[in-house]
């Protein structure tokens, strides 16, 4: 089961995709980079996966982000991601 929730554009060649899936038979939310290029188009390893049983905790953390803090950042449009191993 894969259900795309949505995507945002990170830059000209890269989107960040949020989807619900059942990777390895375990349901969770995957947030992954998707690139469009001359040599490769598809998902990269950059991103993370939140298991279904941890999603409410994850959502609470995201909701704690103060929008004023994001607006005061000198590079507020730059999205920073890092590689994090899946569970």
Structural tokens at position 86: 């899946």
**DSSP letters spanning the chain:** -EEEEEEEEEETTEEEEEEEE-GGG--EEEEEEEEE-SS-EEEEEEEEEEEGGGHHHHHHHHHT--HHHHHT-TTTT-----B----
Q: What pTM, to 2 d.p., does this model score?
A: 0.71
CATH class of 2-71: mainly beta
Kindly report, residue by residue over 20-72, the tens digit of the pLDDT: 999 889 999 999 999 999 999 999 988 999 999 999 999 999 999 998 888 87
CB atoms within 10 A of CB 6: 9
Residue indicated by tokens 């992954």: 32
């Amino acid at each position: 089961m894969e259900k795309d929730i949505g995507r945002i554009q990170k830059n000209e060649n890269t989107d960040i995709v949020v989807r619900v899936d059942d990777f390895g038979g375990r349901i969770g939310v995957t947030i992954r980079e998707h690139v469009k290029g001359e040599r490769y188009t598809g998902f990269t390893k950059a991103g993370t996966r939140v298991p279904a049983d941890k999603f409410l905790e994850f959502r609470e953390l995201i909701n704690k982000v103060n929008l004023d803090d994001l607006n005061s950042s000198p590079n507020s449009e730059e999205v920073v991601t890092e590689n994090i191993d899946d569970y």
